[in-house]
Chains A and B, each alone.
Chain A
Amino acid sequence: MSLVSVQGLSVTFPSEKGPVAAVRNVSFDLKPGEILGIVGESGSGKSVTCRALLGLLPRRATIGGRMIYDGRDLSGPAEIQAVRGREISMIFQNPASHLDPLMTIGDHVAEPLRFHFGLSAAEARAEALKLLESVRIRDAASRMDAWPHQLSGGMKQRVLIASALACKPRLLLADEPTTALDVTVQAGILQLLRDLNRESGLTMALVSHDLGVIAEICDRVIVMRGGEVIESGPVRDVVTNPQHEYTRLLIGAQPGRLPQMAEPQEAPAGLVDLKDVAVHFPTRSGGGIVRAVDGVNLSVRKGECFGIVGESGSGKSTVARTIVRLITPTGGRVMFEGKSVADLSGADLTAYRRAVQMVFQSPFDSLNPRMTAQQTIAEPIWRHGLASKSAAMERALELMDMVELPRSFATRRPRALSGGQCQRVGIARALALSPRLLIADEVTSALDVTVQAQILRLLTRLRKEHDLTVIYISHDLTVVRKFCDRVAVFQGGRLVETGATADLFASPSTEYTRDLIAAAPDMDQAMAERA
């Protein structure tokens, strides 16, 4: 018998343009002891489905259908309240915002113990300590009285898990629990979830956009798109033999399945050289120094695609900003075609600005919300005096063609564009000045995988057509492996190692790189390991 049975679930939100269905006629079962994966891209309704089970949707949502938990019909607020915590508990994507900033770590875990099991303060505290240790928080005793903001993202997620486990639920809903975390941290959390399932038989539903993650720990998977279930079945069957066209598209867009786009070439001439570059900031409270980047030496060759990988805080973005001169290095020099970038001024600086352009991470934040796509793309052209304003607007349309953005989108503002379309506008704006070096900083990390695949294809084409040198910054090793000719690995502001992509992945020379490669979730590899 199944633990949870969802039958014909639908969720509708009101909007200015009338009701919008977020989830339509969704049915699935959860068997005791299994890990069910719910995979889908943004807007697929996977999170909404999950939240509906615990009644966590906004009041304005209209919910239809049946949800049955262990024979109980979760038909109203009272019925749902009865299973919350004690039977079904949940962990979330952004652990930082899901912890009360004014409550200590220990209290977060002790709180449900006192409520559900009537433990005294002292008993709850002792039990909370055990739970924190069980989710492998190092030095848990001394962390009991710490505040959430004093912990790293991975530690916060462990606290959130401990707090959910304190209710001793039979079912744990995990809504993108590792999406906001670094890959090495993600690997640890996934391992923890898998162990909880194996050792104590905890049933789980894992919502994720990442088939690699799903493939690593789930038994069965349901694929959602546009609020509907497209396909479901054991993970192996769905991955190896997808029935639905969209599932095939999704699987094909996995970074590991992308075609090899890198084309290493003989190009000895250096374009950008970093010589002992350091960027230090004073800490906010004063006194200390943050070494965001320290002692970095590297050389990017003309015409190549150079990848920079690293986790958060590795300094990879700071390096990018230093090259485009958004940040002035506190030590060392950035050389472009043999000239020190810091010394440029006047016409030389303007020429440098045109030669080196950047595309940013966040599709929406990287565009001025008040300007149309066409205005955004045209602005650099006329401001640099390369053409009149009207000629620049005309040229902007050509640039839109170049990035495969329909001309009919010319008058749209960012809010009326999708993430992928915004990124195309950002790329067109960067290309407007015909740069020779394009720096792409995590340009696909906020996008769905299918869109990521398109953007990567576009960048590859543009690179060839315009003879661009590209510096591609990413946390995703699999993408870098497919896309870049050479790679540099960063950790804690320092360059760990650098080399030709194929060599580096085949035989990493440092332990950190080895860990990083091992931790990167990959669908095919996960399937192979589980066989």
Chain B
Amino acid sequence: MTDLASTASVHPAAPRFRHGTIEAALGAALLLAWLIAAVGAGVFAPYDPNALDLVAMLAPPDGVHWFGTDHLGRDVFSRVIYGARIDIWMGFAGVIAPLVVGVTVGLIAGYFGGLTDTILMRILDITVAFPFFILVIAIVGVLGPGLVNYIIALALVAWVAYARLVRAEVLVVKRLEYVQAARALGFSDFVIILRHVLPNVLGSITIYAWTDAVMVILAGASLGFLGLGAQPPTAEWGVMIADGQPYVLQAWWICLFPGIAMVTLSLGFILVSDGLSRRLRVSS
């Protein structure tokens, strides 16, 4: 008797399901670690992040200053820990603001269609015509540098991705018979959108939002680096890298550690997004 098992590779679906879970858990652990560090920065950071120590300028990492000090003698480790507060806040606020705008627009445009849809989509077309980062810089440029203005700029610019995603999903869900049934049962549009449409489009938005957080943090840090985001002496990772740039040859640690911090935080977000999307795909 010949066994035909050789035609099929041994790659069962069950471990793949666990895979997604492991990824998501790893990502969540990274995020949680950073969240704890940020919240408890006052406890974990050995120094005041802005305390100058002109005697210990550009000191390399050692037992006293774990990550060394910068050109003003500030403790890099403490600044990285405090920086987490800024960058995590930026990640969450910078996702939620455009998410709320975009989901609202997408639900309304997709569900009602017609003229409403046409007008909203034209506004969307115009917004996407501007390169994301350029429009953010331009808006921050006229409103003035700073983190709050960055979040405002995001709400004005980054909503388009959510609006498109939600609208596309709503167009699918709207045709499904349970939404038709809800209409035939005489439920109001408000009830249908909120109870029957929204919960069923949230999955893909959630997955996208976790990836979007990475973009928001990277772009925000880039702004900080360019001098258009968080303003010195705020301990924000992008600002810290900018501070360390002139000294990177003799004091590599000033630039290196905030960068690693950013990579690990971003990794947390992406792993959660990836894990969730894999689980969603397997279960459907």
Using a CB–CB cutoff of 8 Å, the interface residues on chain A facing chain B are 8, 13-16, 18, 52, 55, 57-67, 73-77, 80, 321, 324-326, 349-350, 353-354, 356-358, 360-362, 365-370, 379-380, 383-384, 426, 429-430, 433
Q: A60-B12, A60-B13 are in contact. Are A426 and B181 (CB under 8 A)?
A: yes
Bound Cα distance from A297 to B48, whole angstroms: 83
Query: Is there an interface contact between B177 and A366, defined as CB atoms closer than 8 Å?
Result: yes
Bound Cα distance from A476 to B277, whole angstroms: 40
Judged by a CB distance under 8 angstroms, whether B71 is at the interface is: no
Interface stretch (choices B2-10, B35-43, B130-138):
B2-10
Rounded to whole Å, the gap between the CB of A429 and the closest CB of chain B is 7
Query: Is there an interface contact between B187 and A76, defined as CB atoms closer than 8 Å?
Result: no
Judged by a CB distance under 8 angstroms, whether B245 is at the interface is: no
A15 touches which one: B14, B176, B178, B191 (CB < 8 A)? B14
Bound Cα distance from A368 to B177, whole angstroms: 9
Query: Is there an interface contact between A64 and B5, defined as CB atoms closer than 8 Å?
Result: yes
Smallest Cβ-Cβ distance to A356: which chain B residue = B184
Specify which chain B residues have a CB less than 8 angstroms from the CB of A73 in the assembled complex: 2
Bound Cα distance from A18 to B178, whole angstroms: 33
Query: Is there an interface contact between A15 and B13, defined as CB atoms closer than 8 Å?
Result: yes
Q: How many A-B residue pairs have CB under 8 A?
A: 105
Query: Is there an interface contact between B14 and A14, defined as CB atoms closer than 8 Å?
Result: yes
20 contacts between A and B (CB under 8 A): A16-B14, A57-B8, A58-B8, A60-B9, A60-B12, A65-B4, A75-B2, A75-B4, A77-B6, A321-B180, A324-B184, A353-B186, A357-B185, A358-B184, A366-B177, A368-B182, A368-B200, A379-B187, A380-B187, A383-B185
Judged by a CB distance under 8 angstroms, whether B199 is at the interface is: yes
Smallest Cβ-Cβ distance to A17: which chain B residue = B14
Rounded to whole Å, the gap between the CB of A348 and the closest CB of chain B is 12
Bound Cα distance from A8 to B4, whole angstroms: 12
Judged by a CB distance under 8 angstroms, whether B17 is at the interface is: yes
CB-CB nearest 9 A-B residue pairs: A353-B186, A14-B12, A366-B177, A63-B4, A360-B177, A75-B2, A380-B185, A365-B176, A368-B178
Query: Is there an interface contact between B2 and A367, defined as CB atoms closer than 8 Å?
Result: no
Rounded to whole Å, the gap between the CB of A13 and the closest CB of chain B is 8
Judged by a CB distance under 8 angstroms, whether B11 is at the interface is: yes
Query: Is there an interface contact between A326 and B183, defined as CB atoms closer than 8 Å?
Result: yes
Known: A66-B1, A368-B199. 15 other contacts (CB 8 A): A14-B12, A16-B17, A18-B14, A59-B8, A59-B9, A60-B13, A62-B5, A73-B2, A75-B4, A353-B184, A358-B184, A369-B200, A383-B185, A383-B191, A426-B181
Query: Is there an interface contact between B2 and A60, defined as CB atoms closer than 8 Å?
Result: no
Bound Cα distance from A59 to B10, whole angstroms: 8
Query: Is there an interface contact between B7 and A362, defined as CB atoms closer than 8 Å?
Result: no
Bound Cα distance from A134 to B186, whole angstroms: 53
Bound Cα distance from A321 to B175, whole angstroms: 12
Query: Is there an interface contact between B183 and A62, defined as CB atoms closer than 8 Å?
Result: no
Specify which chain A residues have a CB less than 8 angstroms from the CB of B176 in the assembled complex: 362, 365-366
Query: Is there an interface contact between B4 and A361, defined as CB atoms closer than 8 Å?
Result: no
Bound Cα distance from A73 to B184, whole angstroms: 58
Smallest Cβ-Cβ distance to B187: which chain A residue = A383
A80 touches which one: B5, B7, B13 (CB < 8 A)? B7
Interface size on B, residues (CB 8 A): 29
Judged by a CB distance under 8 angstroms, whether B65 is at the interface is: no
Smallest Cβ-Cβ distance to A414: which chain B residue = B178
Rounded to whole Å, the gap between the CB of B175 and the closest CB of chain A is 9
Query: Is there an interface contact between A366 and B6, defined as CB atoms closer than 8 Å?
Result: no
Smallest Cβ-Cβ distance to A433: which chain B residue = B185
Smallest Cβ-Cβ distance to B175: which chain A residue = A365
Query: Is there an interface contact between A365 and B177, defined as CB atoms closer than 8 Å?
Result: yes
Specify which chain B residues have a CB less than 8 angstroms from the CB of A59 in the assembled complex: 8-9, 11
Query: Is there an interface contact between A350 and B13, defined as CB atoms closer than 8 Å?
Result: no
Smallest Cβ-Cβ distance to B11: which chain A residue = A60
Smallest Cβ-Cβ distance to B178: which chain A residue = A368
Bound Cα distance from A370 to B4, whole angstroms: 40
Specify which chain A residues have a CB less than 8 angstroms from the CB of B182 in the assembled complex: 368
Rounded to whole Å, the gap between the CB of A431 and the closest CB of chain B is 12
Specify which chain B residues have a CB less than 8 angstroms from the CB of A75 in the assembled complex: 2, 4, 6
Specify which chain B residues have a CB less than 8 angstroms from the CB of A358 in the assembled complex: 180-181, 184
Specify which chain A residues have a CB less than 8 angstroms from the CB of B185 in the assembled complex: 353, 357, 379-380, 383-384, 429, 433
Rounded to whole Å, the gap between the CB of A271 and the closest CB of chain B is 17
Specify which chain A residues have a CB less than 8 angstroms from the CB of B199 in the assembled complex: 368, 370
Bound Cα distance from A9 to B124, whole angstroms: 56
Specify which chain B residues have a CB less than 8 angstroms from the CB of A14 in the assembled complex: 12-14
**Interface residue ranges of B164-180 to A (CB < 8 Å):** 176-178, 180
Query: Is there an interface contact between B3 and A64, defined as CB atoms closer than 8 Å?
Result: yes
Specify which chain B residues have a CB less than 8 angstroms from the CB of A62 in the assembled complex: 5, 8
Query: Is there an interface contact between A366 and B181, defined as CB atoms closer than 8 Å?
Result: yes
A362 touches which one: B13, B177, B191 (CB < 8 A)? B177
Specify which chain A residues have a CB less than 8 angstroms from the CB of B186 in the assembled complex: 349-350, 353-354, 380, 384
Query: Is there an interface contact between B184 and A365, defined as CB atoms closer than 8 Å?
Result: no
Specify which chain B residues have a CB less than 8 angstroms from the CB of A368 in the assembled complex: 178, 182, 196, 199-200
Specify which chain B residues have a CB less than 8 angstroms from the CB of A326 in the assembled complex: 180, 183-184
Smallest Cβ-Cβ distance to A7: which chain B residue = B1
Bound Cα distance from A63 to B14, whole angstroms: 18
Bound Cα distance from A370 to B200, whole angstroms: 7
B178 touches which one: A350, A366, A384, A430 (CB < 8 A)? A366
Query: Is there an interface contact between A429 and B5, defined as CB atoms closer than 8 Å?
Result: no
Bound Cα distance from A506 to B142, whole angstroms: 81
Bound Cα distance from A13 to B8, whole angstroms: 11
Rounded to whole Å, the gap between the CB of B284 and the closest CB of chain A is 9
Query: Is there an interface contact between B187 and A429, defined as CB atoms closer than 8 Å?
Result: no
Bound Cα distance from A266 to B176, whole angstroms: 38
Rounded to whole Å, the gap between the CB of B31 and the closest CB of chain A is 26
Q: A16-B14, A66-B2, A368-B196 are in contact. Are A360 and B8 (CB under 8 A)?
A: no
Specify which chain A residues have a CB less than 8 angstroms from the CB of B11 in the assembled complex: 59-60
Smallest Cβ-Cβ distance to B7: which chain A residue = A77
Bound Cα distance from A250 to B1, whole angstroms: 34
Smallest Cβ-Cβ distance to B284: which chain A residue = A415
Query: Is there an interface contact between B178 and A365, defined as CB atoms closer than 8 Å?
Result: yes
Specify which chain A residues have a CB less than 8 angstroms from the CB of B12 in the assembled complex: 14, 60
Specify which chain A residues have a CB less than 8 angstroms from the CB of B181 in the assembled complex: 358, 360, 366, 426, 429-430
Specify which chain B residues have a CB less than 8 angstroms from the CB of A369 in the assembled complex: 200
- Residue among B1, B13, B180, B184 with most chain A CB within 10 A: B184
Query: Is there an interface contact between A76 and B4, defined as CB atoms closer than 8 Å?
Result: yes
A60 touches which one: B8, B177, B187 (CB < 8 A)? B8
Q: A326-B184, A357-B185, A429-B181 are in contact. Are A76 and B7 (CB under 8 A)?
A: yes
Query: Is there an interface contact between A76 and B177, defined as CB atoms closer than 8 Å?
Result: no
Bound Cα distance from A379 to B184, whole angstroms: 13
Specify which chain A residues have a CB less than 8 angstroms from the CB of B196 in the assembled complex: 368
- Residue among A14, A357, A426 with most chain B CB within 10 A: A14
B5 touches which one: A63, A324, A384, A426 (CB < 8 A)? A63
Rounded to whole Å, the gap between the CB of A22 and the closest CB of chain B is 13
A64 touches which one: B4, B13, B177 (CB < 8 A)? B4
Bound Cα distance from A350 to B186, whole angstroms: 7
Bound Cα distance from A325 to B182, whole angstroms: 12
Specify which chain A residues have a CB less than 8 angstroms from the CB of B177 in the assembled complex: 360-362, 365-366
Smallest Cβ-Cβ distance to A368: which chain B residue = B178
